[in-house]
Structure 1
Amino acid sequence: MAARHPGGALAVVLTAVLLASACAADRSAEAAPGENPPVELRAAHAQTPDHPYQVCGLEHMQRELADHPQANLSLEIFPSGQLGSNEENLEEIQAGSLDLSVPGLGSLTIFDDRIGALETAFSVEDQQELQDLLDGEIGGELIEPLRTTHNVRILGPLWALGSRHITANRPITSPDDLAGSAMRTQQTASSRATAEALGATPTPVDFGELYLALSQGLVQAQENPLVQIDTANLTEVQRYIMMTGHVVNVSILSMSESTYQELTDEQRQVLEAAADHAAAEVNQCIADAEEEILERWRATDAIEVVGEDELDMDAFREHAREVYTGEDSAYAEDWGELYLELTEESR
């Protein structure tokens, strides 16, 4: 399975880490014994200011850092893609020009294609299973090396975004119903593969343009978690939601390794505790929001909810398996072996 680890980028990152370490030593020398030098961290994300990632996650971290003034840490937040897309934020972290971001797990494929296998359709059953994978051998092979190869550290547990479901203007009960239909995707290979795994034709559309694309018929279907669908008011331009739950959608609190190395031991402890608590807050906020959204949709008939028991889930799973592992699969080389391993463990 091929992975992308550009030698030039590696040299740049290693140089940045060495320089950061030197700066940390200088700062420690300047600080009085037992004191922490002041550090203002900059965090960026692509969600809106009222999204759980902002309100329940990063703002929670802000408050917790303020509750530990001796650590001398503060956090400035830039929502709504002010500092770029998820992938651009990761590149900024790699370069050391941004401290923190909350991209989707699949965004890490800009560093290693193999990570896309963790965001494939029907590969895991729930977030806990995915967390266990990242905490184990698979995470040790795919995620942990990013600290040294790309200056990217994963801080704390996964942040929920919610399982992804299909919406369309007609009922979709099997992959055959999506044949020939344009489904909105992101620019990543894992997103394009998801559309194919569901039976549709992948069509890249920026999330900010999705409402218009659906209203004009440029795409006939899309797939997203409930919170994203509700936030973007997609129920105004889609009549059905099929509760496939085909991808466990999570994000990661990413941090510049060079920034992390500049912090004192006490600052690291305070920051890591805040990250742990923020993840728990986000996960609860997402769960509460999904419950409220479904209740509201059903009460107002905003969109017809088609339950999993009304869908041919076996057909969806078999079609996905063929797309990811079949003889003609464009994804088998990078993901096929791991996909088979994951799906066998999930059964």
Structure 2
Amino acid sequence: MNRLLRTTAPALAAVLALTACSSSSDGGDEGRGTTLTFSNSYTEDHPHTRCGIDLVAERVTEADVDLTVDTFPNSQLGSNTETFASVMSGDIDMDVQGSAALGAAHSPIGVFDAAYAFDDVDHMFSFFDSPAADPVKDGFTEVTDARILDVWYFGERHFTANRAIRGPEDLAGLRMRFPDSPIYLANAAALGASPTAVAFEEVYMALQQGIVDGQENPIATIAADNFDEVQSHISLSRHQIGSQMIVVSGATWAGLTPEQQEALQEAVSSVREDNRACIEEAEAETLAEWEATGAIEVVDDVDVETFRERARAYFEETLEGEELELYRSFQDAD
């Protein structure tokens, strides 16, 4: 439950509803002795938890600025859609959210998850850190009153099915599960897939029962949710560099002292590379295990360039306005 729901005294709940952060432990200056809630939807052993929000909490404590971060993994504070709504209202202080999910609040952010938007994770980080990213980050804050502290790597997304997918023609006739969001459905069209919307919690059963023929996700997710049990092939299409945004409530941020803001920003940004290394290590270990055991056939000769050319041509034709400008700016980033 979030802070308001955990509070047993109605009077205290009313106070918390009016303030973005917990009250000062000593009754002193604003923002002192503050505890923040940091939510994510991943399990406790997922890299975004053990090499992400847990590390942020540790580093904030080490900064010794009277700031503490309480972490809530595994959707303890609600589903993705619920938690970000709570960040906007100030009931939850911080959250890890996929760019596509945040696109529901501010559509340009979703373009970060467009197929082949970035060549690799370094390309994505380079763009995010450049002045070219400021308009989309500022626009997001204007619309949501939430601040993006940084972007973390989620992993490259690949196809699984009961046959190899080496090029767009191999997707013909397959019912592929894609998340039910505008940018993911656009990705399906861009790649030549026929998308079927299935809730993530139902993907395993849908694959097992043949309701869908395949799906796409990062390696860590495929392994964690045992999709390799109901699929015979993973095709390394690398069609999306998954991005996860670390967001903080605008009211929460405004309630922190400058020293606390600096410590929180530094903690989140310093974790970025640790989190990436954790993801990449997990991916390498899983691929090695699959190749050794034959649990699922690893197809590594995918025609990535054909997929990339098709996707970029599609988005050049279909995106408009700020979203098209943003997509083009990705290509201009070093």
Is the structural similarity TM-score above 0.5? yes
8 Å CA contact 1:183, 1:220 repeated in 2? yes
Q: How does 1:63-142 map to 2 (within 5 A)?
A: 63-68=58-63, 70-142=64-136
Structure 2 unaligned blocks of 5 or more: 1-17
Which of residues 8, 32, 36 is equivalent to 1:41?
36
Aligned to 1:12: none
SS at match of 2:248: strand
Aligned to 1:148: 142
Aligned to 1:219: 212
Calculate percent identity across the aligned residue pairs.
34
8 Å CA contact 1:101, 1:253 repeated in 2? yes
Q: Does 1:31 align with 2:19?
A: no
Output the CA distance in 2 between the equivalents of 1:172 and 1:93: 39
Aligned to 2:152: 159
Q: How does 1:1-347 map to 2 (within 5 A)?
A: 30-31=27-28, 37-68=32-63, 70-155=64-149, 157-307=150-300, 310-326=301-317, 329=318, 331-332=319-320, 335-343=323-331, 345=332
Output the CA distance in 2 between the equivalents of 1:341 and 1:208: 35
Post-superposition Cα deviations, 1:174-230, rounded to whole Å, max 9, x if no partner, equal 112112322111121111111222211111122221111111111111111111111
SS at match of 2:97: coil
8 Å CA contact 2:24, 2:33 repeated in 1? no
How has the CA–CA distance of structure 1 residues 259 and 316 changed in structure 2, closer, same or farther, with 3 Å as cutoff?
A: same
Output the CA distance in 2 between the equivalents of 1:140 and 1:346: 13
**RMSD between superposed Cα atoms in Å:** 2.6
How far does residue 141 in structure 1 lie from its aligned partner after superposition? 1.4
Aligned partner letter, 1:323: Y
Structure 1 unaligned blocks of 5 or more: 1-18
> What is the TM-score of this pair, normalised by structure 1?
0.83
SS at match of 1:195: helix
What number of residue pairs does the alignment pair up? 317
How far does residue 129 in structure 1 lie from its aligned partner after superposition? 1.5
How far does residue 145 in structure 1 lie from its aligned partner after superposition? 2.8
8 Å CA contact 2:24, 2:31 repeated in 1? no
8 Å CA contact 1:121, 1:197 repeated in 2? yes
Output the CA distance in 2 between the equivalents of 1:102 and 1:193: 23
How far does residue 269 in structure 1 lie from its aligned partner after superposition? 2.2
Output the CA distance in 1 between the equivalents of 2:113 and 2:325: 14
Shift >3 Å, 4+ stretches: 26-30, 331-343
How far does residue 134 in structure 1 lie from its aligned partner after superposition? 2.2
How far does residue 31 in structure 1 lie from its aligned partner after superposition? 1.3
Output the CA distance in 1 between the equivalents of 2:120 and 2:85: 29
> What is the TM-score of this pair, normalised by structure 2?
0.86
How far does residue 334 in structure 1 lie from its aligned partner after superposition? 6.4
Moved more, 239-248 or 193-202: 193-202
